[in-house]
Structure 1
Amino acid sequence: MSLSAQIRNIIKRLPNGKTFGYDDLRIPKERYTSAAKALERLQKEHLIKKVSKGVFYKPEKTVFGELEPDYNELLRPYLFENGKRVAYETGITLYNRLGLTTQMAFRTKIASRSKRINIDRKALKADAVKSYAEVSDSNYAILGLLDAFKDIKRIPDSSVSQTIWRLSIVLKELTPNQIESLIRYALLYPSRVRALVGAVLQNNRYQGKGLEKLKDSLNPLTIIKLDLEQSELPTKNNWYIE
């Protein structure tokens, strides 16, 4: 089967509105030039459309015209490299989904350890930030939670106490393995994150050994000032939080 026929068959099986690139088409790098010509022909036939360099989609046709992929599909190609996740969405967009703020962001933030991802394409706009750890499918959600602890004083339309209340609920829903992962990655974050994670977990009556690691990582002489009342986080004094 020719490369052109192979690409056409794979695309035929893809759902409308799903973005795809050369990796999804299982094309070896040495054949990218030939593949580009085949994809160009498919564009001229209006079977696919180009999103950005190396990223395409099958348009969904309705009585109102052709639909573009939804936001998540447009973002997906930027979060993966060679089929592996290398980045995740963070900032206000993520905090809105977590229920920490009602505000929406005009620009989102993309966190990655290995690359800087800036996007400026129609409704999809993003600024690059550096993640505190290598990003994978197994840890990106945990890293997003830790980002919320880090930005706790900068989350719009929410007070520190409101954010802690909401994050406490989220942490109660984590599995024991997820909590262990949370603690492990928290150790890579600034002291205020380590302290807050420890205080919230302790307030949630978590008694795992990981709490000792978080506590030992803190300097007792460094006070974290968040203007919290004792009633808002009863364990705060144990973690040098005011």
Structure 2
Amino acid sequence: MMTISKQISQQINQFPEDILFGYKELNINQQDYTTAAKALERLQKKGVIKKISKGKFFKPQMTIFGEKKPSEEQILKPYLYYEGKRVAYITGTYLYNQLGLTTQIPSTIRIASRDKSITIKTFSVKASPAKSYVDVTEENYQILGFLDAIKDLKQIPDVDVTLAVRIFQTRIKQLNEKQTQGMVEYALAYPSRVRALLGAIFEAMCIKTNIELLRKSLNPLSSYKLGISTNILPTAPNWNIQ
């Protein structure tokens, strides 16, 4: 019968380099965790694997430039899922940089989840928790990140509002009717400035999907100072956006 130590070594040999793994990926029974921990410790001492955080390891890959560490995406991935289901997503300046809204790259990444408070501190990645307005799924996390960008428009470092509105419109054009409908439904859980700007953009793009839901959700006496003129978004006044 194969020992736990040999079983772990064989599995690790089959793993590609530059990926994160833990006890779950090694298919270790919980009653064998103590034995597995000792085996993993021996492999660390030999330099076969390295520990990146509690219960998470990787196989170091050597290049002509030195040791290659796992990418940020690999490090973050285990924290975004629970029992195989997505429960969190990357938001904040890191995401807004990827969307083309800012050139700034933050030292700390924000991770949004409805029920989990996710904090990460490794040698290469730091992350702090943010609150998701709705439950996170594989189907909606990108839309939630997009709505976060609308919510944080005035707080995005060095943002060009004119460019931001164009980026929002371009992204919305790529959605199908089901996705735009979902975006409206999720937006109803967000602050009113999100619903107002989304409504103005939809109206300017002649998208009628559930647009009246957005309008009815707003206080007609409220106004939103977002620094968006009619030159940028002609429908802005219809939604009390200044």
Q: What amino acid does structure 2 have at the position aligned with 1:220?
A: P
- Counterpart for residue 237 of structure 1: 237
- Counterpart for residue 190 of structure 2: 189
- Counterpart for residue 134 of structure 1: 135
**Contact 1:55 1:77 survives alignment (8 Å):** no
- Counterpart for residue 150 of structure 1: 151
- Counterpart for residue 211 of structure 2: 211
- Give me the whole-angstrom Cα distance separating, in 1, the residues matched to 2:166 and 2:33: 51
What are the equivalent positions in structure 2 for 1:72-87 lying under 5 Å apart? 72-87=73-88
Classify the secondary structure of the residue corresponding to 2:227: coil
1:31–1:177 CA distance, 2 compared to 1 (3 A) = farther
- Give me the whole-angstrom Cα distance separating, in 2, the residues matched to 1:185 and 1:122: 35
Moved more, 122-131 or 4-13: 4-13
Give, in angstroms, the shift of residue 38 of structure 1.
2.4
Q: In percent, how many aligned pairs have the same letter?
A: 49
Q: What amino acid does structure 1 have at the position aligned with 2:78?
A: P
Residue deviations 1:189-220, cap 9 Å, x none? 01111111111122122122x21211111111
Is 2:58 aligned against 1:57?
yes
Provide the TM-score with structure 2 as the length reference: 0.91
- Give me the whole-angstrom Cα distance separating, in 2, the residues matched to 1:76 and 1:173: 25
**Contact 1:23 1:83 survives alignment (8 Å):** no
- Counterpart for residue 7 of structure 2: 6
Is 2:108 aligned against 1:120?
no
**Contact 1:60 1:67 survives alignment (8 Å):** yes
Give, in angstroms, the shift of residue 176 of structure 1.
2.2
Give, in angstroms, the shift of residue 100 of structure 1.
0.6
Give, in angstroms, the shift of residue 154 of structure 1.
0.8
**Contact 1:48 1:58 survives alignment (8 Å):** yes
**Contact 1:48 1:57 survives alignment (8 Å):** yes
Q: What amino acid does structure 2 have at the position aligned with 1:186?
A: A
- Give me the whole-angstrom Cα distance separating, in 2, the residues matched to 1:122 and 1:7: 25
Give, in angstroms, the shift of residue 8 of structure 1.
2.5
- Give me the whole-angstrom Cα distance separating, in 2, the residues matched to 1:163 and 1:4: 53
Moved more, 85-94 or 4-13: 4-13
Residue deviations 1:117-176, cap 9 Å, x none? 222323312221111122222211111101000001111111333311211111111222
Moved more, 10-19 or 21-30: 21-30
- Give me the whole-angstrom Cα distance separating, in 1, the residues matched to 2:81 and 2:234: 41
Gaps of 5+ in 2: none
Give, in angstroms, the shift of residue 46 of structure 1.
2.0
Give, in angstroms, the shift of residue 45 of structure 1.
2.8
1:58–1:167 CA distance, 2 compared to 1 (3 A) = same
Give, in angstroms, the shift of residue 111 of structure 1.
1.1
- Counterpart for residue 36 of structure 2: 35
Classify the secondary structure of the residue corresponding to 1:153: helix
**Alignment length (residue pairs):** 241
- Give me the whole-angstrom Cα distance separating, in 1, the residues matched to 2:29 and 2:139: 27
Provide the TM-score with structure 1 as the length reference: 0.91
**Contact 1:20 1:57 survives alignment (8 Å):** yes
**Contact 1:79 1:86 survives alignment (8 Å):** yes
1:155–1:225 CA distance, 2 compared to 1 (3 A) = same
**Contact 1:116 1:128 survives alignment (8 Å):** yes
- Counterpart for residue 223 of structure 1: 223
Gaps of 5+ in 1: none
Which consecutive aligned stretches of 4+ in structure 1 deviate over 4 angstroms post-superposition? none
**Contact 1:21 1:56 survives alignment (8 Å):** yes
Q: What amino acid does structure 1 have at the position aligned with 2:90?
A: E
